[in-house]
Amino acid sequence: MSRKIRRRTVLKGLGVAGVGGLAGCAQAGEDTPTEGDGGGDGEGDGGTEDTPESDGETETSAATGDAPASRTIKVGILMGVTGGLSELGPPIRQAAELAAEHMDRESDTFTVDYQFEDTATDPNTGISSAEALVSADYPMVAGALSSTVTIQTANNVLVPNGVVQCSPASTSPQLSNLEDNGYLWRTTPGDGLQAAVMTTVGRDRLDAQSTATLALNNDYGQGLAAEYVSAWEEAGGTVQNEVSFEPGQGSYTSQLSSALQDQPDLLMIVGYPESGVRIFRDFYSDYSQDFCDIIVPDGLQSGSLPGNVGNSMRNVWGTAPSSTGPGRDAFDSLYQEEFDSDPSESPFTAQSFDAVAVLALANAAAGENNGEAIRDQMANVANEGGEEVTADNLAEGLQMAASGTEINYQGASSAIQFNDAGDIGAATYQFYRYQEGGFEVIENIEYSE
């Protein structure tokens, strides 16, 4: 499979999938290892030092169906765990490293060698970190998280060097249109889907006729805001004001005043917790919870937000990609055993596990640490057809893929069906509401192209 030109796909339908329980974007703290750490034993670049490594070939061809010889699968992990995503990023990194270490431990045939690099949620740092992975000969990378960082690292480093990139959290619609020669993929749905869900929630559940937007001035914020405005107007609603903001400001009083001057029924805010705390403190300083409802996406989904803001935030509702894939239970069990925490409390953890898993399976099917060969196997190991592989049998899946067996990876986040743009064509979204001490998931909403 070779994709040369990326294209946008068309949104179609929405359905309700049932009721979710209590829980906890694009991006949360941990005691993170230092930059460049990784591997099954938590030291060095990952893998097992005394295991022979072959970057190019196995002793038997995948086409023969024979058992493969031992070899090393190399995967870079490029994610922002400091900067704007310092709260949301660490659990996403944990899930990626968990996938690599789980396959390394369970496989008798493959060593999984990984190296982590922090982007600091900054495009320039991200480019330098991506260059470090290319210099270390990693043919595929899980990341980045911020859409802006993913776009910049793809355009400037990874695509020109023929490195496959799979983001678990970058939702900007711009990713669907990049001239990436088929090297850029993602295991999270694009913001076109989320904008449609947010509009349906705002119009049908919150009875809002008018809206305004307050969006971070980057690819994620502006891309989602534009999709939301388009979806809202298409649904017959009124968009009053569209306001952008820069991260890290000492006050957002002026921006809030501009967005709210015509008293919209619903204010949509898109950003990250770093700026979100200040925005919500300023809002509640000047306005009551009864002034208007607010809706936020995954970038502002954080169980600690009400406590940091000092308000229950009960007028704030949100949507975020949920994780309801066939491999969810197995992933939850692995994550809880490893980190003694619930991955559902942090967005994009399941998508991160899936990104590393799909990359590794494509690498095994390719039979070599070669970006072009891995690229051409990405859809083959994930889309419909073949033996089912989940988090339960990933090591067996690597063996099957390397032997030429057709496989179908069923992810923790979703079934992982890639479209021609390397995007996920369907997703389930949480509809949640903030309250004292965190947030409550009200129900799950399914949406597909």
The string of pLDDT tens digits covering residues 61-78 is 444 445 566 899 999 999
Contacts for 329 with CB less than 8 Å, ≥ 6 apart: none
**For position 446, what pLDDT does the model report?**
83
Question: Can you point out the beta strands (E) in 252-395?
Answer: 266-270, 293-296, 316-321, 387-389
Task: Find out whether 191 and 224 touch, Cβ atoms under 8 Å.
Answer: yes
Inter-helix orientation angle 394-402/89-106, to 10°: 60
Range of the structural domain that residue 301 is part of: 192-322+428-448
pLDDT at residue 67, as a whole number: 58
Instruction: Report the run of H or E that residue 402 belongs to, with start and end.
Output: helix 394-402
Q: Are residues 180 and 228 in the same domain?
A: no
- For residues 302 and 329, state if they share a domain: no
Establish if 6 belongs to a structural domain: no
Q: How many residues in total does the chain contain?
A: 449
The pLDDT of residue 449: 63
Q: How many domains does the chain have?
A: 2
Work out whether the CA dihedral 128, 132, 135, 139 comes out positive or negative.
negative
Cβ 140 vs Cβ 371: under 8 Å: yes
315 lies in the same domain as 391: no
Residue 260 sits in a domain whose CATH number is: 3.40.50.2300
Q: Are residues 232 and 121 in the same domain?
A: no
pLDDT averaged per 10 residues, the chain (length 449): 25 29 32 36 37 40 56 98 93 98 97 98 98 98 96 98 97 92 95 93 97 96 96 98 96 98 98 94 98 96 94 97 92 97 91 98 98 98 94 97 97 92 88 94 84
Q: Is residue 440 part of a domain?
A: yes
Task: Give the Cα separation of 148 and 433 in Å (integer).
Answer: 27
Give yes or no: residues 318 and 342 share one domain.
Answer: no
Residues 243 and 353 in one domain: no
Q: Look up residue 31 and give its two tokens.
A: 């005691």
Per the domain annotation, does 358 fall within a domain? Answer: yes
Pairing type for strands 387-389 and 14-18 reads unpaired
pLDDT (0 to 100) of residue 427: 83
**In this structure, are 274 and 381 located in the same domain?**
no
Asked if residue 438 and residue 316 are part of one domain, the reply reads yes
The letter for the amino acid at 206 is L
Residues 344, 409 share a domain: yes
Verify that 347 and 375 share a domain, yes or no: yes
Q: How far apart are CA 277 and CA 274, in angstroms?
A: 6
| Same structural domain, 344 and 407 | yes
How many H-runs (helices) and E-runs (strands) does the chain carry?
Answer: 13, 16
pLDDT at 22: 25
Question: CA 420 to CA 194: how far, in whole Å?
Answer: 19
Classify residue 99: in a domain, yes or no. yes
Residues 284 and 374 occupy one common structural domain:
no
CA separation, residue 205 to residues 277, 295, 316 (Å): 25, 11, 13
Identify whether 2 is part of a domain. no
Contact 348, 150 (CB under 8 A): no
Domain assignment present for residue 112? The answer is yes
CA dist 399 and 109 (Å) reads 7
Distances (CA, A) of 279 to 65, 95, 195, 254, 294: 58, 29, 21, 10, 12
Q: Among residues 359, 372, 424, which one has the least CA distance to residue 176?
A: 424
